[in-house]
């Protein structure tokens, strides 16, 4: 089984445990820092319509809907999409990233912001991010929150490569480990440039207990033209 297939499979197998953990506030960094950080970063864009890409069980869509924002959530896991629909707060659809990259109309309209909250976990996100340029309205932004590479590298080498999340720190019920692709800060900037974006803002929300970065938030705008030597495919 490929890393990509195992990644997709893990979200379906872990959907119930993930939903329970997120809704129960079982991840300290999210509870204390990163949930509020991504909501704040999106609200600062003053969007009317947002695409929540990799929406999971829908918590971010609900938080934005409470602020009067129209939200569409997309996730590869039908189980997570079902959980999101039961809670409401947005319009939710099960769509794979590959399908969306091939047909951006599956995003169902145009948006003031596309948000990827810890949801870009594959090795090759450029085709997807490039395709999403077509659903961003003029002046729209791509907002990405991801693990902070300097922290997430841990004892491993600071270089791109596949890692494994076992969910042991998140409680019981997780049935499958999740492969995910570690990316350095330099690699992130290369991905964004290749997909046709320029970095408008970079934030490092700090954990209140450790004083260390809890995540990395990248707010990106569409380039009028791609950088020399870069490609969006």
Question: With b meaning 16 or more CB within 10 Å and e meaning fewer, what string describes 64-82?
Answer: bbeeebbbbbbbbbebbbe
Q: How remote is the C-alpha of 45 from its chain's centroid?
A: 17
How far apart (Å, rounded) are the C-alpha atoms in residues 55 and 158?
A: 28
- The string of pLDDT tens digits covering residues 44-73 is 999 999 999 999 999 999 999 999 999 999
Percentages helix, strand, coil for the chain (3-state, rounded to 5) are 40, 25, 35
| pTM for the model | 0.95
Question: What pLDDT does 225 receive?
Answer: 56
- The string of pLDDT tens digits covering residues 29-39 is 999 999 999 99
Percentage of the chain with pLDDT > 70? Answer: 96
Question: What pLDDT does 145 receive?
Answer: 98
Let me know: does 196 contact 232? Beta carbons within 8 Å.
yes
Q: Is the pLDDT of residue 233 over 50?
A: no
Nearest to 169 by CA among 7, 33, 30, 26: 26
Task: Give the model's confidence band at 224: pLDDT under 50 very low, under 70 low, under 90 confident, else very high.
Answer: low
Question: What pLDDT does 232 receive?
Answer: 42
CATH superfamily of 3-222: Vaccinia Virus protein VP39 (3.40.50.150)
- The string of pLDDT tens digits covering residues 142-167 is 999 999 999 999 999 999 999 999 99
Question: What pLDDT does 121 receive?
Answer: 98
- The string of pLDDT tens digits covering residues 109-136 is 999 999 999 999 999 999 999 999 999 9
Q: How remote is the C-alpha of 91 from its chain's centroid?
A: 17
Q: Is the pLDDT of residue 229 over 80?
A: no
Question: What pLDDT does 1 receive?
Answer: 87
Task: Give the model's confidence band at 231: pLDDT under 50 very low, under 70 low, under 90 confident, else very high.
Answer: very low
- The string of pLDDT tens digits covering residues 90-112 is 999 999 999 999 999 999 999 99
């Amino acid at each position: 089984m490929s890393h990509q297939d195992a990644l997709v499979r893990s979200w379906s197998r872990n959907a119930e445990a993930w939903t329970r953990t997120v809704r129960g506030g079982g991840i300290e960094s999210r509870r204390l820092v990163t949930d509020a950080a991504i909501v704040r970063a999106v609200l600062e864009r003053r969007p009317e319509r947002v695409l929540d890409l990799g929406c999971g069980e829908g918590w971010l869509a609900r938080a934005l809907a409470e602020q009067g924002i129209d939200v569409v959530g997309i996730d590869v896991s039908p189980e997570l999409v079902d959980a999101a629909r039961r809670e409401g707060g947005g319009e939710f659809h099960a769509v794979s990233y590959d399908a969306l990259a091939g047909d951006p109309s599956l995003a169902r309209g145009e948006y003031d912001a596309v948000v990827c909250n810890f949801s870009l976990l594959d090795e090759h996100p450029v085709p997807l991010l490039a395709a999403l340029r077509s659903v961003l309205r003029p002046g729209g932004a791509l907002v990405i929150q991801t693990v902070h590479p300097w922290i997430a590298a841990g004892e491993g080498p600071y270089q791109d490569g596949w890692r494994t999340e076992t969910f042991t720190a998140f409680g019981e019920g997780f049935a499958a480990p999740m492969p995910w692709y570690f990316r350095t800060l330099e690699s992130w900037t290369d991905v964004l440039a290749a997909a046709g974006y320029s970095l408008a803002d970079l934030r490092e929300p700090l954990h209140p207990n450790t004083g260390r970065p809890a995540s990395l938030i990248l707010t990106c705008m569409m380039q009028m033209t791609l950088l020399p030597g870069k490609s969006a495919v």
